[in-house]
Chains A and B, each alone.
Chain A
Amino acid sequence: MQDWISLPLVGFPLISSLLLLAFVSKVSESMRNKLSDPIRMACLVFSLVLLGITTGMFFQYFGDVSWEGIGFNQYEYSHRYTWIESLGIHWTVGLDALSFPMVWLTTFLLPVTIIATWNEKNGATYFPIVLAMGGALIGVFVALDLFMFYVFWELTLIPMFFLILMWGGADRKYASQKFFIYTFTASVVMLLGLITLYFFQDPGNPLDYAGSMTGRSFDIPTITQHALAENSNGNWYLGANIQKVLFAMLMLGFLVKLPAVPFHTWLPDAHVQAPTGGSMLLAGVMLKMGAYGMFRLPISLFPHALEYFQLALMIIGMVSLVWGAIVCLGQTNLKKMVAYSSVSHMGVILIGIATMQPMGWAAALFMMFAHGIISPMLFAVCGAFKHHYHSMEIGAMRGMAKHSPWIATSMMFAWMASLGLPLLAGFVAELMMFIALWYFIDANGWSVFWMVGPALVLALTAAYYLWSMQRTIFEGGDETQPPASLHGEPVPDLASPEKLAMLILAAFTILFGVMPWIGLDMMHDWTKQIFDGLILPILGDFNGGI
């Protein structure tokens, strides 16, 4: 089995993009413009190679890895190199049903992003930065070492900062700094939580892969195993008080990244100012880092605290869901509306987590995946809109269906997918969340009013999406009157690379809507395992779980 395969997955994009950037920065301005085409091609090929590798891993081409039935705290393709021995830091990688879909998603979005933003300016620096972003993101998902996880977690900020700062909209200076500082603040608190967790390990109880200087281990599988043993005995791992504090500190970092209301204010600014490619990766993968982190650390290590904070998480999830949808209704900026709809969808993930049901968690995992395909399409449509009509205002362009059928069709498809049309990927996740929530409420005797929020949001989401479509695609539509922002230029439609990107994204949205079991089976297996192993021993004769 090719255990080392995560190493090139992370290292290759990072190193190749650094080399490309170093090369580009040495050449003259005119040469740089000439180089833009070959570099774009190279980046596309590199990212396709990555996609080939991860797809091959899924189809069991590299080693006979079965993705279904992976147990809790079991990892495929796991490997370990010593990094900083004195502190117990290792380059530890591994994949399970939680991280593999995210890794595949990242490698899938990289080529799609490159294709969708084929004509981005300063391509010679833009495409390597996109590639570097991909490498950092994959690093976050494959890392099984707290130190390594944090390093990649922060490393993703740097390329995204530059994507926003150098290719963003008019207010990009403010947005890029806000994005960086906001998420950095949350993650340093998380870092302190991680270090406190590190030192609360018992050095007397022999730890695998412990540092020679510290006697403690950064190894996530080791820590998870210790925590599991302690938690399932009925004790709280590290004791009740510490577990609650650490849970809160880690969750703060993840909730800001997700983002959940009230920590979401960086997201609309970042999205509106970010270039299309930046938005696609930000919404597609970077937000999922938050949900991924929740599963990987606080939920796996501190299930007692999860139960303790269940109500709080449920409330935060509900508020995100409803608040995001309400704010969407009031938006006149297309991209801002899509950004707030992301907040709303991340609320679904949080509610799924808060149900503490295998199906709720599978819904959250599938939502991470489905939203990772749909939201890049939303932002690609927004980008095309901005690119072709030089405006982001809803209503700046009317009657698109007649002017530019391609944009109109892609927009309609993406909007429908996002509001949860059956047979598209988003619907599956939302439906599962509803079932899990209903089951949870019923089994635990919670009030039925908890269903009001999600039900209301179904209507709200349909309202803001349909309303914006009506105003941009169908209404008006006098072919003789193109929008004022075009200044009399001919009305454009999608360029061919954009068309290709839209088709790819739409095809996979349909694929995972019609055949959700491709990804869902392994996710549900995994959440069932973690539920049986971790939650059931705690909750005792708790209402079963579906």
Chain B
Amino acid sequence: MSNLTEIEPFGEGFVEAMGPELILFAGMLLLIIVPNLGQGTFRIPGTQLRLPWLLGGQRFEFTSDPRLPAWLATFTLGGAFFNVLYTFSQGLDRVAIVSESGKQLLLVNGFSRIFELIFFGALALAAFSSMNRLRVNGVGSKVSETELFNNRRQADFYILMVTCALGMSVVALAQDLFVLFIGLELASFSTYVLVAFLKESKVGVESGMKYFIVGSVASGVGLYGLSMLYLWAGSLQFDVLATAFATTSSTDMALPLIGIGFVLVGFGFKVSAAPFHFAAPDAYAGATSPVAGVLATASKAMGMIGLVRMLLIVAAPETGDGSAIWLVCLGVLAAVTMTWGNLAALGSDNPKRMLAYSSVAHAGYMLAALTAVGAWNWDAAVSGDAGAAAVAVLTAVIFHLLVLVAFKLGAFLVLSILESEGDVSRLSSLGGLAKREPLLAVSMFIFMISLAGVPPMAGFLSKLLVIMGIVRVAVGDMGAELADGGIYALGDMHWVWWLALLMVLNSAISMFYYLRVGVVMFFDEPEEGREGPLPAGWQVRAAIFACVLTTLIIGVAGDAVLRLCEMAAQSLNYDW
């Protein structure tokens, strides 16, 4: 337990509390300014006197280096990442940033910090591995070295990555639906541009447009819902909304329920839950692979925060009967999402689309976990097994999002190496990878079976935790009552148990398409024109290696990370 400190913006302790965000902000300024530094001069009007003024003109060799923006972004995001880690190691204090009237705007606690770890980690890896390899002429076309290093567009790319991180961290911190929405939009607009970054290619434009249009419609619907909630409660503070929701009688529920439903559409798009997932496969296929990886990990985690806040804080399960009003609805959504994602992935030959659908399936698993929370009390007052069960499920969700960064992003990074030698829109482009670069093929195989949930990878542990959370809620106190002579059958368990069964069956289905990647890499011959060695780039290989190590180490010894996630889960609703 730690005390809550309230700080006004720029008050005492503000810099410490907002350390990661300030690092990001400073990095963003550097990214804008430094690549523009050159031998530019300023002529004093009416004289021949020229003062060096550094902006513009012939750029220095240092500032025109195409690697510079990537290094800046990597150090910024990495610095923010380690700053967060440092605050964890120092024992986290809860700090609220309040407005003048005392309303909480942002809250720094374990929950928000762990999500910042996810965001900054994913974005730093993506930025680092894009270094030197970002092509500006779109997927599939060969470009010369000079074209490849078009510095100014490089700088844009990395600036957007940093703004994206800034927006996401605001979402993690926000205690007010409006602040959350501002962060969400900042991150969204950055990702829209990042997805459309390959604007020279047809597929890049198509994916950018689709993602933007569908995304902005989802945001618009969400904003409409937000206005309804404001109309109903007169405030957008989460705690005010939660209190209002708890006290409203069920006959007056229509307005808030519609509002919450609309807001959930916006977040559902971000986590790519069915039926809001249609833009995701196109967006992933057209974006550069590291950006697609960010969409599948950081952006999904951001949407998950929104879902958690709306479902578990605002529309919290009632204390009495313990079943939330959205329970059945979310359960159906989870079942549909995981099944749809897996079935669609079975039929897709494009590895990036396949990974997109697998991301939809993973969203389904996490929605199933949230459903389980709704099946039981989510209340600080319930000290017994119920509260612990909810914490366990939420821990599983956070752990899953955290380790997903390692193996989902890692898979996209492997694809990005292949992408820089040509189109990877067919599975056969992975052919013969085991002969061309065995370690890369083994890494990809590890990522695939980790996604499928095979031990001893991190993906197994996270899936196990989700299943364990669901089963724990479903079984409830029956274990103790059985020991006292109670009689129970399978049907006496809560129906969320069947979601766990559906989830393991879905894992079995998913094995088909994950294993197919392995078979193609180790069995098939390379495609024509891909026989030679793979494109160089130590940065991306280092990033992939880090992902493999994380996947294996967390899979084998995940206790410390697990405890971190548990602490984060507790801090959502407890005084931690």
Contact = CB atoms under 8 A, between A and B. Distances in A.
Interface string B447-489: 0010001111000100011011001100100111011011111
Given A26-B439, A180-B515, A242-B488, A199 B479 contact: yes
B504 A191 contact: yes
Nearest to A188: B504
Nearest to A153: B455
A196 B475 contact: yes
Interface stretch (A154-162, A368-376, A385-393, A521-529): A154-162
3 smallest beta-carbon distances between A and B, as pairs: A241-B489, A25-B438, A185-B508
A181 B501 CA distance: 17
Contact of B559 (A86, A177, A205): A86
Contacts of A215: 385, 388
A342 B480 CA distance: 43
A192 B562 contact: no
24 contacts: A84-B557, A84-B558, A84-B559, A84-B562, A85-B559, A87-B468, A151-B460, A165-B523, A166-B523, A181-B511, A184-B508, A189-B504, A192-B467, A196-B497, A198-B468, A200-B482, A202-B483, A204-B483, A213-B562, A214-B468, A238-B479, A238-B482, A240-B487, A241-B487
Interface string A215-248: 1100000000000000000010011111001000
A92 to B, nearest CB: 16
B392 A213 contact: yes
A409 interface: no
A177 B519 contact: yes
B439 A83 contact: no
Contacts of B519: 165, 173, 176-177
Given A87-B562, A151-B460, A196-B475, 10 more contacts: A83-B559, A84-B558, A86-B562, A177-B512, A184-B511, A188-B504, A196-B497, A213-B566, A239-B488, A241-B489
Contact of A162 (B439, B483, B522): B522
Contacts of B497: 196
Interface of A: 22, 25-26, 83-87, 147, 150-151, 154-155, 157-158, 161-162, 165-166, 172-173, 176-177, 180-181, 184-185, 188-189, 191-192, 195-196, 198-205, 213-216, 235, 238-242, 245
Contacts of B563: 86
B449 A158 contact: yes
A132 B158 CA distance: 43
Contact of A239 (B449, B487, B518, B522): B487
B56 to A, nearest CB: 48
B214 interface: no
A192 B515 contact: no
Interface in B140-167: none
A192 B467 CA distance: 8
Which of A176, A188, A204, A240: most chain B CB closer than 10 A? A188
Given A184-B511, A188-B507, A213-B566, A199 B454 contact: no
B512 A181 contact: yes
Given A158-B454, A199-B472, A185 B511 contact: yes
Contacts of B505: 185, 188-189
B500 interface: yes
A25 B504 contact: no
A165 B518 CA distance: 10
Contacts of A201: 479
Nearest to A202: B483
B244 interface: no
Which of B454, B486, B566: most chain A CB closer than 10 A? B454
Nearest to A184: B511
B490 interface: yes
B371 to A, nearest CB: 16
Contacts of B500: 192, 195
A202 B490 CA distance: 17
B202 interface: no
B486 A239 contact: yes
Which of B388, B438, B501: most chain A CB closer than 10 A? B438
B516 interface: yes
A83 B478 CA distance: 27
Contacts of A154: 454-455, 460
B438 A150 contact: no
Nearest to A27: B438
A266 to B, nearest CB: 13
Nearest to B392: A213
Contacts of B472: 199, 214
Contacts of A176: 519
B442 interface: yes
Contact of A242 (B467, B480, B490): B490
A86 B567 CA distance: 12
Nearest to A241: B489
Contacts of A26: 439
B22 to A, nearest CB: 34
A513 to B, nearest CB: 38
Given A155-B455, A192-B471, A203-B480, A86 B566 contact: yes
Contacts of B449: 158
